Amino acid sequence: MHSRAPIAAGIALSLGLAFALPAGAQEKYPSKPIDLLVPFAPGASTDTGGRIIAQALEARWKVPVRVVNKPGGNTVPAVSEVMTAKPDGTTILVDGMPQSSMLDTVVKTLPFKVEDRTFLAVTSYTPIMMFVPADSPFKTVKDAAESLKKDPGSFTWTSIGGASGLDMAFRQFCRDNGIDVKKTRTVVTKGGSEAVTLASGGHVMLGLGTYTGAAASLSAGKLRMIAVAAQERWPTIPETPTGKEMGFPSLNVEFWVGFSGPPKLPAHIVETWTKALAEIVADPATKEKMAKVGLKDLYEDAATMQKRVARERRDTQDLYK
């Protein structure tokens, strides 16, 4: 009979596994499906950035890596779920500024401590940019600053509400100009695309957003990009200066996509992740995929990521005093 052999092999295998499990001090990781929790809706930068990595991890680890979107509630419900998950590496957060650096400034009564999470790595970022209607009198970001200083009470700009990367960039701009942000006129939109529309239609004086959101209107000549809130200029618009170059030193919001786990994630799991992420980000194929969705590859290991969050957190607290 043919069928005996596979059965025998199956028994042997399961016996082997049964012995192997208690024998090894550490279970092989990853051996189970992994859930990547995204606290935003599908299609957002955090989501697309997370999915690119998820796909690469799946190919590498041969276990399902699922992206699960749990949007809403200022990211608190999704983050909370990761913070209380079993630290076995099967529940990981797709991290970013709103769900880490800015979170405890926005939501005062968090059921967890932001810095308690296990940081893994940063994988990509997209800088916040400032743009104005094509027919705006602001030729450069300095013109915008002059107008802001002269009459803050009539200065309209777009935010996506609460504490967001966009909101933070404008507050940094106000701080550099010595203006109280509360005196300005905030126009809150549901998302980045609406901010682009408002600016393109000339309904606000200054729009803020990412390159991806503004690209279409920019190439159609409806918008003029006046500043990039990052350390470096953005590759697709090399003519637009950074905030720092124009004399606004603290204008810097690199909206990043990274990964973190529940508190007390074992060291061998952290190591598996950081090693895999470093290699994935270094792969030219990944860089190309990121560039397509408007992200730029940026690898920072767990320690650097932790420092980044701490630095951004201090800045947020200062900006939202």
Partner 1 sequence: MDAAIVAGLANALTPANMLFALTGCLLGTLVGILPGLGPASAMAILLPLAVHLPPEGSIIIMAGIYYGAMYGGSTTAILMNIPGEVSSVITAIDGFAMTKAGRAGEALGIAAIGSFMAGIAGTLAIALIGPRLADLALKFGPPEYLGLVIFSMSTLVSFAGSSLVAGIALGILGMWIATVGTDPLTGTQRLSLGSIQLMKGFDIVPVLVGLFGIAEVLTSLQQKVARIHMGPLGSWLSMIPRGAEMARGLAASVRGTVLGFVMGLLPGMLPALTAYLAYDVEKRISATPERFGTGMIEGVASPEAANNATAMAGFIPLLSLGIPTSPALAILFGTLLINGLTPGPLLFQAQAQLTWTVIGSMLVANAALLILNLPLVGLWARLAQVPYSVLGPVVLVICVIGAYSPRNTMFDVWVAIAFGLIGYFMRRLNLPLAPLVLGLLLGPLFEQSLRQSIAVAASPLDIIGRPIPATLMAAAILVMGATVVVRRRSSAVGQLIKDSTNET
Footprint on this chain of partner 1 (rule: CB under 8 A):
41-43, 47-48, 51, 54-55, 67-74, 76-77, 80, 106-107, 109, 111, 154, 156, 161-163, 185-191, 193-194, 196-198, 200-204, 212-213, 215-217, 219-220, 222, 292-294
Residues contacting 259, CB < 8 A, separation 6+: 36, 53, 92, 93, 94, 95, 120, 121, 123, 273, 277
Smaller CB separation from partner 1, 93 or 302: 93
Contact by Cβ (8 Å): 158, 309:
no
**CB of 176: closest distance to partner 1 in angstroms?**
22
Smaller CB separation from partner 1, 163 or 230: 163
**CB of 148: closest distance to partner 1 in angstroms?**
15
Smaller CB separation from partner 1, 171 or 222: 222
Smaller CB separation from partner 1, 170 or 248: 170
Smaller CB separation from partner 1, 102 or 269: 102
Contacts by 212-216, CB closer than 8 A, 24 or more apart: 212/45, 212/126, 212/293, 212/294, 214/129, 214/131, 215/294
**CB of 161: closest distance to partner 1 in angstroms?**
5
Which amino acid belongs to residue 238?
A: P
**CB of 119: closest distance to partner 1 in angstroms?**
23
**CB of 145: closest distance to partner 1 in angstroms?**
20
Number of residues written out for the chain = 321
C-alpha 10: how far from chain center: 45
CA distance 231 to 127: 9
Smaller CB separation from partner 1, 193 or 272: 193
- Measure CA of the first residue to CA of the last residue in the chain; give whole Å: 78
**CB of 292: closest distance to partner 1 in angstroms?**
4
